[in-house]
Every structure is written in structure tokens, then in C-alpha cells.
Amino acid sequence: MARLTLDPARQQAVSVSIATGAYGLSFGALSVAAGLDVWQTAALSLLVFSGGSQFAFVGVLGAGGSAAAAVATSTFLGIRNGFYGVALAEVLRPMRGARLAWGAQVTIDESTAVALAQPHDDLPARRAGFWWTGVGVFVLWNAITVLGALLGTRIGDPADWGLDAAAGAAFLGLVWPRLASRRAQAVAGAAAVLALALTPLVPAGVPVLAAALVGVVAGWAPHKGEAVPE
Amino acid sequence: MTPYAWTWAAIVAAGLLAWLTKIAGHTVPERVVQNPRMHRIAAFVTVALLISLAAVQTFTTDGSLVIDARLAAIIVAAVLLWRRAPFLVVVAAAAAVAAGLRALGWG
């Protein structure tokens, strides 16, 4: 029997793709529950392709918000993907043409995290981590989104399956390796408290964006002795 | 336009803006990318965003602060992460804890 062996970067890429893709079931079901149809749900996953933005988009519409508010919230939450492109510059550049267009589309939390988690001096592993995770999540996320949308209410409330808790755990798992330094821990604590304190007061999506400002403040001034949490 | 058509327009607009945001990061000039301040800000903003997404996902429902089965699930996830469990195990365990507690009628 032939055995398939993968290096660590590709193993992580595959496991992250499966974990994240499975959570597309939750998105598909929630989107239909929020009043979008199956085609609209599939189009969101194809075009927006960023979990946080997509959940926020259907969350705003489902809560009775306007189309403009849904676009604004989705876009605000996607700003971090722009920062990821900057962080990935030394891994992926130079890119142009179709490669740039496609690479941009699969620049998300997971592809960035797996790429930057590989050894700093191993460029092939970092690139493999990015592309395998980006393409892997793209394929599974889109396929499983459609499945979730079709099953819709038949799988019941996604919360009954604990999928809301799984989403929180996934974000915690992604940030965990970045919490090694005291400064990163302080930023995380302040950002979490600020986001929760603002939640009852401002529209959905704004608390997370406001929390991001804590990161801007922390990164503005140089600090010695501790590594930047990349 | 009907509400259905507005939703389609919003989906296309959100998709286009998402892609433009992503491509902007990949095409900022090298001079800016090399700036140490930009590096630090990008790194800390990532931490702040991911942790606040985790917090909001775990402790809020429809704009209200809520403590429910997700609290137990995130604690189990944190312990597993501390024990260096694989990502997939952490996510699956959190779902199982929340689903189990809710099946028992709590949270």
C-alpha cells in the first residue's frame, strides 16, 4: 500500500483546512437562517472568502441591518487581511498577474498563520504553508458552505452542535502562538476587554475594529527586550 | 430595487472590497513593508483582532454579553492549547463540550 507522507507545513495545512472547512457548515446554515438563499450564500464564500467578514455580513442582515451596514461591517473586519499581505511580503514576493490576484484572494487568517508558523529560514516551507492552506481552505470552505446552506434548518440550530463555541476556540487557537511575549499578552487582555465592553453599545463589527486600535498603539512605539509576536 | 437585489449588490460590493483590501497589502511599496513600525503594528493588530474575535464569539449574543456553555468550551480549548493539542482537536473538543452541555439543558 502506498503511503502518503507530508512534511510538517503540509500536514498543518491539511488539518487547518479540514477544521476551518467544517466550520463552513455553520456559515452556510446561519446564512440561510438569516434570510439569504443558497446562491447568495455560495457567492459570499466565493467572493468575500473571509470567515469573520462573512459571519458579520449575514449577522447584520439577519438582525435587520441595511445592505450598506453589512458591506461596511464585512469590510472593516477584512482590514486585517490587508495587514496579512504586508506580513507575508518576504514570504510571497515577487507576485504579479494571476498569481497576485489568486494569492490575494486566499490571504486569510489560516493561510497567514500556517505560513508564518514555519521556520523563518525555510522559505519553501513557508510558501507551501501559505498555498496549501489557502487553496485547501478555499476548496473545502466553499464546498461545505453549500452543504450547510442546503441542509439549512435540517441540521438544526448550529449552536446545538457547539459550532459557535468551535468558532471561538478556532480564533483562540490561531492567536495562541502569538501570545508568547508579555506585551502581546497585555495587548490581548486589553483588546478582549475593550471589545466586550463596547459590544452592548455600538453596532456589530465596531468592537473588533476598536480593539484593533489597541494593537496600533502597542506597535507604534519601539520596545526592547521582547520579540514582536509574529 | 427589491431587497433581494440589494442583497446581491451588497454581496458583490463586499466581495470586491474584501479582495481590494487583500491585494492592497500585497502591493504596498517595499519601503513601507521594510518599516519596523509597520511590522510591529501589523503583528499587534493581528493579536488584538484574533483575541477580540474569540472574545466576542464566546461571550456575546446579538449585541448582549452572555455567559453560557461557550465559557466551559473556551476554558477546555485553552487548557488543550496549553497542553499543545493539535488545532483540530481543540476546535472539535470545544464544539463537543458546548453541544454536550446544551444537550444536558445548560447554556
Domains of chain B by residue range: 1-30, 35-66, 67-107
Pairs of residues, one from chain A and one from chain B, whose beta carbons lie less than 8 Å apart: 318
Q: For residue A165, tell me if it sits in a domain.
A: no
Question: Per the CB < 8 Å rule, is B14 touching A74?
Answer: yes
Question: Are A77 and A187 within one domain?
Answer: no
Query: Could you read off the pLDDT of A180-210 as tens digits, one per residue?
Result: 999 999 999 999 999 999 999 987 777 877 8
Question: Are A202 and A144 within one domain?
Answer: no
B83 interaction partners in chain A (CB closer than 8 Å): none
Question: Per the CB < 8 Å rule, is B50 touching A53?
Answer: no
- Give the pLDDT of residue A38: 96
- Give the pLDDT of residue B50: 82
Question: Are A68 and A146 within one domain?
Answer: yes
Q: Are A135 and A127 spatial neighbours (Cβ–Cβ below 8 Å)?
A: no
Q: Give how far B4 is from chain A: nearest CA, Å.
A: 8
- Sequence-ordered list of residues with C-beta below 8 angstroms from that of B104, at least 6 positions apart, any chain: none
Residue B65 φ/ψ, nearest 5 degrees:
-75, 130
Question: Are A151 and A189 within one domain?
Answer: no
**B46 pLDDT higher than 90:** no
ipTM value, please give it: 0.85
Question: Are A199 and A124 within one domain?
Answer: no
- Give the pLDDT of residue A77: 80
pTM listed for this prediction: 0.74
CA–CA distance, A152 with A144 (Å, rounded to integer): 12
CA–CA distance, A140 with A79 (Å, rounded to integer): 23
Question: Per the CB < 8 Å rule, is A43 touching B7?
Answer: no
Among residues A134, A55, A68, the alpha carbon closest in space to that of A95 is found at: A134
Q: For residue A112, tell me if it sits in a domain.
A: yes
- Give the pLDDT of residue A153: 67
Q: Give how far A161 is from chain B: nearest CA, Å.
A: 5
Among residues A65, A215, A187, A205, the alpha carbon closest in space to that of B60 is found at: A205
Q: Which residues of chain A register pLDDT less than 50? A: none
**Helix, strand, or coil (residue A227):** coil
CA–CA distance, B107 with B101 (Å, rounded to integer): 7
Question: Are A40 and A112 within one domain?
Answer: yes
Alpha helix locations (H) across A4-122? 8-22, 24-33, 38-47, 51-62, 67-87, 89-92, 97-105, 109-117
Q: Which domain holds residue A186?
A: 179-230
Question: Are A136 and A56 within one domain?
Answer: yes
| Cell numbers standing for residue A19 | 477544521
User: E-assigned strands of A45-118?
Assistant: none
Question: Are A126 and A192 within one domain?
Answer: no
CB neighbourhood size of A49 (10 A): 25
Query: Could you read off the pLDDT of B5-32 as tens digits, one per residue?
Result: 999 999 999 999 999 999 999 999 878 8
| β pairing state of B64-65 and B60-61 | antiparallel
- Give the pLDDT of residue A225: 58
- Give the pLDDT of residue B35: 83
Q: Is B100 exposed, middle or buried (0-12, 13-18, 19+ CB in 10 A)?
A: middle
A160 interaction partners in chain B (CB closer than 8 Å): 99, 102-103
Question: Per the CB < 8 Å rule, is B52 touching A192?
Answer: yes
A67 interaction partners in chain B (CB closer than 8 Å): 6-7, 9-10
**Total domains in the fold of chain A:** 2
The DSSP call for residue B57 is: H
- Sequence-ordered list of residues with C-beta below 8 angstroms from that of A120, at least 6 positions apart, any chain: none
**B42 pLDDT higher than 80:** no
Q: Give how far B1 is from chain A: nearest CA, Å.
A: 12
CA–CA distance, B79 with B77 (Å, rounded to integer): 5
- The mean pLDDT of chain B is 91
Among residues B16, B61, B83, B70, the alpha carbon closest in space to that of A176 is found at: B83
